[in-house]
Amino acid sequence: MKTRLILLLTSTAILSAQTTPVERQAASEILKKIDALQEKIGPTEQAKAMASGKDRDRDRILKRVETLWDKQLRDLSDHIGRNPEVGFKEFASVDTLTKVLRQYGFSVTTGQAGLETAFVGEWKSPAKGKGVTVGLFAEYDALRGTKEPFHGCQHNGQSPAAYASAVALAEFMEKKKIPGTIKIFGTPAEEMGPPAKVIMFDAGVFDGTDLIVRSHGTGETTRNKPGFGVCCLNINEVKYIFEGRPAHQRSSWNGRNALTAAVQFYTSVDHLRPTFRPEAVIQGVIPEGGVAPNVVPDRAVVDYYIRYPDEVYLAHMDTMIANAAHAAALATGTKVTIDRYGEYRDGITVGSLEELSFAYAEKLDAPEINPEPQRPAGYEETGFVTRDIPGVSVSVFSSSAPGHSYERWLDSMKDVGHTGFLLDAKIMAAILYHYVTDGDFRKTVHTEHETMAKLFNDYLDALNEAYKDEIGGSLK
Ligand SMILES: [Zn+2]
């Protein structure tokens, strides 16, 4: 027992999402509260009991998921896999996916939040009463390759897996006269900014959804620790657009050079780097800088990804960099517009959902199980949706090839991918089944999520306090 406790404590330290000393200090009291909350819920034991119990309804749903997959949806996954389209241009994929979803009795609308390749499929139970609304994320964008797009992130399997779960659950709810709504959220362009899920979230597309599940191809079967964090740092995607006045270079005094402003700004950012904490990551390009050498450029654009492990320090970096942009504009007689076109933040991971997902992965003999819980990362890449709506991302091994590789793409259309996606579908269906039919479980999930969201706000307050003396732009 003692050894286990020590192991547990070590793993908490290693796998905590808090990576800097400031973060760890700010989070120390809050992590204790998260641990106390988890102890109260006992999500692992709860999940094991739920997954191992005899349940004929659930087993029928899982069987139905398999039939739907074998009959049509595995082929649909391969079809999307053979016809990759990059983010925001997934027109043929969306055409096919929405056609199939309509065949299953879902009403489908497209173009949500001004995104042409977004869609929402909705099924309402004929049973009287409101019931709950559950959502499933479906992605379908491919990666940009050096020659052509390819599904190196296996998004081709996601929509078909979500469909199998949703349809099996809908049939069950109809038969048992359970009220409620099932929504499929077709979310474009996971792989590129601006983050579509944030745009859809801000437009209210997910409003009224009680729970969201999704799946994603992966190199091992895992679940995450409860808490808050993100996979790849908090990010601000920002464009600095400099506008000057064009003129012939032989009479350049008539112009105002936007490229000069951009270069000055770019250099200023390099000068800022040592004033930022070492965990800061700033990556930039100048994608626009004029059209001809003999014309004073009247437009130049600098595009930066500004990253930091926590969002409070990130906001400070963002302010300093914006000041540098204004300074460059002032120095060159140009104008700058700042377009913060994308944001990614820490998300909330809910233990009772993660553990249920994992308990089913074990029960269904998923391959390549890693027993060690991974760091919290929310269930979607932007973080924002997870702060508002509880949910879980199901990750079952679907390829041993590296992420974003051609080999992983090919695996998505082989047994290894098919097996992983079908298990994803079954696990999502099982989670949704419990959520829809078990009021106590629903209560546990929501209480945990709400408590976690409050603790997250406390964490941000603690970070603000910790950085108080250090940040604040310039000297007064
Ligand atoms: Zn992906």
pLDDT tens digits, 221-275: 999 999 999 988 999 999 999 999 999 999 999 999 999 999 999 999 999 999 9
How high is the pLDDT of residue 474?
55
Q: Is the pLDDT of residue 454 over 60?
A: yes
The pLDDT tens digits of the residues spanning 382-437 come to 999 999 999 999 999 999 999 999 999 999 999 999 999 999 999 999 999 999 99
Q: Residue 200: inside a domain, yes or no? A: yes
Ligand 1 centroid from CA 404, angstroms: 8
Of 325, 344, 363, which marks where a domain is finished?
344
Ligand 1 centroid from CA 321, angstroms: 30
- Rounded to the nearest angstrom, the gap between the alpha carbon of residue 172 and the centroid of all alpha carbons in its chain is 29
**Angle at which helices 311-332 and 258-272 cross, to 10°:** 140
Six token digits for residue 336: 């700058």
Ligand 1 centroid from CA 381, angstroms: 9
The pLDDT tens digits of the residues spanning 310-354 come to 999 999 999 999 999 999 999 999 999 999 999 999 999 999 999
How high is the pLDDT of residue 312?
95
Ligand 1 centroid from CA 395, angstroms: 11
Ligand 1 centroid from CA 153, angstroms: 5
How high is the pLDDT of residue 84?
98
- Indicate if 163 and 256 belong to the same structural domain: no
Ligand 1 centroid from CA 318, angstroms: 27
Q: Residue 329: inside a domain, yes or no? A: yes
- Indicate if 163 and 73 belong to the same structural domain: yes
Ligand 1 centroid from CA 190, angstroms: 6
List the Cα angle 198/206/312 in 5-degree steps: 35
Q: Residue 364: inside a domain, yes or no? A: no
- Indicate if 198 and 252 belong to the same structural domain: no
- Rounded to the nearest angstrom, the gap between the alpha carbon of residue 190 and the centroid of all alpha carbons in its chain is 8
Ligand 1 centroid from CA 141, angstroms: 8
Ligand 1 centroid from CA 272, angstroms: 32
Ligand 1 centroid from CA 476, angstroms: 45
Domain hosting 141: range is 54-219+398-437
Ligand 1 centroid from CA 218, angstroms: 9
- Nearest-angstrom CA–CA distance, 139 and 68: 19
Cα–Cα distance list, 74 to 60, 68, 121 (Å): 19, 9, 20
Ligand 1 centroid from CA 192, angstroms: 10
- Indicate if 90 and 130 belong to the same structural domain: yes
How high is the pLDDT of residue 132?
98
- Indicate if 197 and 63 belong to the same structural domain: yes
Report residue 2's pLDDT band, with 50, 70 and 90 as the boundaries. very low
- Indicate if 258 and 183 belong to the same structural domain: no
Report residue 155's pLDDT band, with 50, 70 and 90 as the boundaries. very high
Ligand 1 centroid from CA 154, angstroms: 7
- Indicate if 103 and 65 belong to the same structural domain: yes
Ligand 1 centroid from CA 87, angstroms: 11
CATH code where residue 274 lies: 3.30.70.360
Ligand 1 centroid from CA 156, angstroms: 10
- Nearest-angstrom CA–CA distance, 79 and 285: 36
Count the helix, strand and coil residues of the chain and give each as a percent rounded to the nearest 5.
Answer: 50, 20, 30
Q: Residue 140: inside a domain, yes or no? A: yes
- Indicate if 209 and 312 belong to the same structural domain: no
Ligand 1 centroid from CA 392, angstroms: 15
Ligand 1 centroid from CA 412, angstroms: 13
Ligand 1 centroid from CA 216, angstroms: 7
- Nearest-angstrom CA–CA distance, 20 and 138: 34
How high is the pLDDT of residue 13?
42
Closest among 314, 459, 448 to 386, alpha carbons compared = 448
- Indicate if 194 and 248 belong to the same structural domain: no
How high is the pLDDT of residue 14?
44
The tokens 């709506």 sit on which residue?
389
- Indicate if 63 and 139 belong to the same structural domain: yes
Model pTM score: 0.92
Q: What is the 3-state secondary structure (H, E, C) of 145-189?
A: CCCCCECCCCHHHHHHHHHHHHHHHHHHHHHCCCCEEEEEEECCC
Q: 339 CB contacts (<8 Å, ≥6 apart)?
A: 238, 239, 240, 241
List the Cα angle 420/65/61 in 5-degree steps: 125
How high is the pLDDT of residue 232?
85
The tokens 């998923």 sit on which residue?
366
Ligand 1 centroid from CA 82, angstroms: 17
Q: Residue 41: inside a domain, yes or no? A: no
Ligand 1 centroid from CA 248, angstroms: 47
User: Could you tell me the strand order of the sheet in which 391-394 lies?
Assistant: 107-110, 119-124, 180-186, 132-138, 211-215, 391-394
Eight-class DSSP state of 14: H
Ligand 1 centroid from CA 380, angstroms: 10
Ligand 1 centroid from CA 217, angstroms: 8
Largest Cα–Cα separation, the chain:
84
Q: Residue 212: inside a domain, yes or no? A: yes
Q: Residue 125: inside a domain, yes or no? A: yes
Helix (H, G, I), strand (E, B) or coil at 27: helix
CATH code where residue 179 lies: 3.40.630.10
- Nearest-angstrom CA–CA distance, 267 and 264: 5
Mean predicted lDDT score pLDDT of the chain = 94
- Rounded to the nearest angstrom, the gap between the alpha carbon of residue 96 and the centroid of all alpha carbons in its chain is 24
The number of distinct structural domains making up the chain is 2
Q: Residue 459: inside a domain, yes or no? A: no
Ligand 1 centroid from CA 137, angstroms: 12
Full DSSP string of 58-107: HHHHHHHHHHHIIIIIHHHHHHHHHS--BTT--HHHHHHHHHHHHHTT-E
Ligand 1 centroid from CA 425, angstroms: 17
> What sign for the dihedral angle of Cα 25, 9, 17, 390?
negative
Mean pLDDT confidence for 29-47: 95
Six token digits for residue 397: 């091994």
- Indicate if 209 and 184 belong to the same structural domain: yes
- Indicate if 73 and 199 belong to the same structural domain: yes
